[in-house]
Structure 1
């Protein structure tokens, strides 16, 4: 379900206007789509943040703009990397019943069998779905999965009315054998040994050269002392 958010249409643009909007705990946003001009709006900060959090990467909002309702699909959210607050949101205008192309996140749950390593090969999968029926994520269970288990895009449970656009053979999760500490240490030692061969030879040559120079110096010093 799309969460209703009251939006204010805005006519001021630019960095200065955006800063003023954010100081008021609001968020500047733009709604694109359907061949019409972009709609620039201001959204309530807290309510929008919660709606986007609940809806996930493809959150659908019902924007109330000047008394009219506009369904808007989230396309890009800009977040301040320091303060972790929403700075701007881009939406795409959609209609009920309309199908859209989206990338849906993968959530892996469960505990695989002993001595296994679960690798998520692809974190999202592309599908076509009705704008009002986009899954928040695909849940993939690896409970009890054994070594060699492979989960492909074709194994995902598509919601009614949705179509998988990704290659059905796209590998989503790979359950492999867990590598023991001994194996990792052995590989590390082998890598260090391989890297150290050239380094040791170079060091040996340097030490030999330094030793020869040192011997000549000592011999000269002893000769001087004898005189």
Structure 2
């Protein structure tokens, strides 16, 4: 749990549209909008570097300072550039001390499962409800020594103090299965390729091996034919 807030000094935004947003980003700032608790949406800009560092934690509690007034907020939506490491826009929702909010919290898997097992995480995050000023950074699931066939459901994950699970308790979080052998994997792959109609060209080694086999079969056939002829002559 974390009670720390990150303080960001914002500026009021008066120009809108794509051109204005591009100019804001060129100035190493981030366009944002802050709303909630019945207040009119407030359009602001955030300091680029400081905001990017703060938003590395998706549930960071922010203190937005605007014209000397402070407002606590959480990032509701962070729009990132698909290629460049740039935040294009942030939606901030105002929160109050003591208010409970629902957030997605990462699942952290620790420990080593039993031998020859594969650990699959089906839910990388869980929704939990907690006080805005006391949000968990993650939830921990231990797989230490667990055998194949073990399934850990959301309801079995221990919640941090003050947090309540919102995700369906029957949701599969971690699945532990038997590791497949190389032979079985190759057989499955060959079967799947056969069903898909995929044919592989023979390698030079396989072709040579096949040719040797055919030559040997031919030699055996000739020898058998000669033996039959000899028997017929003796008769």
TM-score by length of 1: 0.81
Q: What RMSD, in angstroms, separates the aligned Cα atoms of the two structures?
A: 1.6
Between structure 1 and structure 2, the one with the greater Rg is 2
* Deviation (angstroms), 1:89: 0.8
Q: Taking structure 1 as reference, are residues 158 and 194 closer, same or farther at Cα in structure 2, changes over 3 Å only?
A: closer
- What secondary structure is seen at the aligned counterpart in 1 of 2:148? coil
- Segments of structure 1 that go 5 or more residues without pairing to the other structure are 198-227
The correspondence for 1:32, drawn from 31, 35, 47, is: 35
1:126 — aligned with what? 127
Q: Is the 8 A contact 1:57 1:136 kept in 2?
A: no
1:2 — aligned with what? 5
* Deviation (angstroms), 1:125: 1.4
* Deviation (angstroms), 1:157: 2.3
Q: Is the 8 A contact 1:4 1:63 kept in 2?
A: yes
Q: Is the 8 A contact 2:136 2:163 kept in 1?
A: no
1:136 — aligned with what? 137
2:60 — aligned with what? 59
- Could you list the per-position Cα deviations for residues 106-144 of structure 1 after superposition, in whole angstroms to 9, with x for gaps in the alignment? 122332221111111112211211111111221222232
* Deviation (angstroms), 1:187: 1.1
- What secondary structure is seen at the aligned counterpart in 1 of 2:10? strand
Distance 1:196 1:29 in 2: 53
Give the aligned length: 195
1:99 — aligned with what? 100
Q: Taking structure 1 as reference, are residues 36 and 196 closer, same or farther at Cα in structure 2, changes over 3 Å only?
A: closer
Distance 1:98 1:83 in 2: 35
1:112 — aligned with what? 113
Q: Taking structure 1 as reference, are residues 170 and 195 closer, same or farther at Cα in structure 2, changes over 3 Å only?
A: closer
Distance 1:105 1:112 in 2: 20
1:225 — aligned with what? none
TM-score by length of 2: 0.78
Distance 2:162 2:144 in 1: 28
- Could you list the per-position Cα deviations for residues 32-73 of structure 1 after superposition, in whole angstroms to 9, with x for gaps in the alignment? 2111111111111111111111xx222211111111111111
Larger fraction in helix: 1
Q: Is the 8 A contact 2:139 2:160 kept in 1?
A: no
- What secondary structure is seen at the aligned counterpart in 1 of 2:176? strand
- What secondary structure is seen at the aligned counterpart in 2 of 1:157? coil
Distance 2:75 2:33 in 1: 10
Q: Taking structure 1 as reference, are residues 156 and 194 closer, same or farther at Cα in structure 2, changes over 3 Å only?
A: closer
2:47 — aligned with what? 44
Say yes or no: does 1:22 pair with 2:25: yes
